[in-house]
Amino acid sequence: MNVRWIATALAVVLLAGVCVQLGRWQFHRLDERKARNDVTRANLAAPPAPIDRIVGADGVVGDQHAWRTAVVTGRYDASKQIVMRYRNVNDRPGFEIVTPLVLPDGKAVLVDRGFLARQGAELAPGHVPAVPTGEVTITGRLRRSERGGNTTGGTPDNGTARLINGPDFAKALGLNLYDGYLTIDTQEPANDAAFGAFPGPEIDDGPHFFYGLQWFFFALLALGGLVYFSRQELRSDSAAAESDGAPDGAPDGAPEGDAAGQDRPEIPAGAADRGLRADR
């Protein structure tokens, strides 16, 4: 075994270790998803309640509140309505219309009034249904503020945005907003029929279990390959050692002179016949 082979073996072992860690990470994500699904199921089954009773004084919609049914009463502020771009519902591109609802205590909540499918290649909805005038009562599902990591778009710009984010909207709109938003299940008076409804949450285990098994299989494959090629290397080294130890020339057991035709006295042509005649 040479240095190059040892380095390759170490690299394969390291690769197998990385695959094992990735598999464990996928199973960890599976546990997190199962826990989140349990919370979602419990929230979907919980009875409707006022938003301040669900969220509390800090006004932050967290993971523990997602998909809870909240009831709010207030007035829409249509002057601060925002069109959400690049939205997709059931594989259909389009727009969502978010309008602040100002509550009697002066606090406001962002209400996602619904989805408008894109018509052709339009960059903005051709028609946005007007908000009801006067007081409205909404029963809907609470959702966390959207955060896109490095993706920008949570701050409204010229009446449009890409992410529904309570704190960013509060700064731009000058409102005391809840950190989160509400999607409409029912509204009194009724929501405009032009709006499409939103699908419910996905409550399944996702692909994490099979991804984890896949990474563990890759680890076993790497280690199995290392064992196989190690045995091949050892057999090659053993064969080379046997070849170096064997004598040069003929096979074992043959006389050394006979094997190569050396050290045998040469008999001149006709010498045998002369010897026979001399004996006579």
pLDDT of residue 232: 76
Q: What H or E segment, with its residue span, contains residue 138?
A: strand 135-143
Give residue 229's identity as a one-letter amino acid code.
Answer: F
Q: Which residue has the higher pLDDT, 244 or 250?
A: 244
Which residues, in sequence order, are bridge partners of residue 155? none
Q: Is the pTM of this model over 0.75?
A: no
pLDDT tens per residue, range 59-90: 999 999 999 999 999 999 999 999 999 999 98
Region 260-279 average pLDDT: 50
Cis-peptide, bond into residue 48, ω within 30° of zero:
no
Q: At residue 204, does pLDDT exceed 90?
A: no
Query: pLDDT confidence of 23, banded at 50, 70, 90?
Result: very high
Phi/psi region, residue 206 (left: phi>0; alpha: psi -120 to 50; beta: rest), is left
Percent of the chain with pLDDT over 90: 61
Q: What is the pLDDT of residue 9?
A: 85
Report the pLDDT value the prediction gives residue 203, as an integer from 0 to 100: 86
Q: What is the mean pLDDT of the chain?
A: 85
To the nearest 10°, the Cα dihedral for 70, 85, 41, 205? -170
- pLDDT mean over 145-166: 82
Q: Break the chain into its structural domains and give their ranges.
A: 1-48+204-222, 68-188
In the predicted structure, residue 199 carries a pLDDT above the cut 80:
yes
Tens of pLDDT along 107-131? 999 999 999 999 888 888 989 999 9
In this predicted structure, the answer to whether residue 259 has a pLDDT above a threshold of 50 is no
Is the alpha carbon torsion for 254, 259, 265, 268 positive or negative?
A: positive
CATH class of residue range 68-188: mainly beta
Task: Tell me what the mean pLDDT of segment 38-67 comes to.
Answer: 94
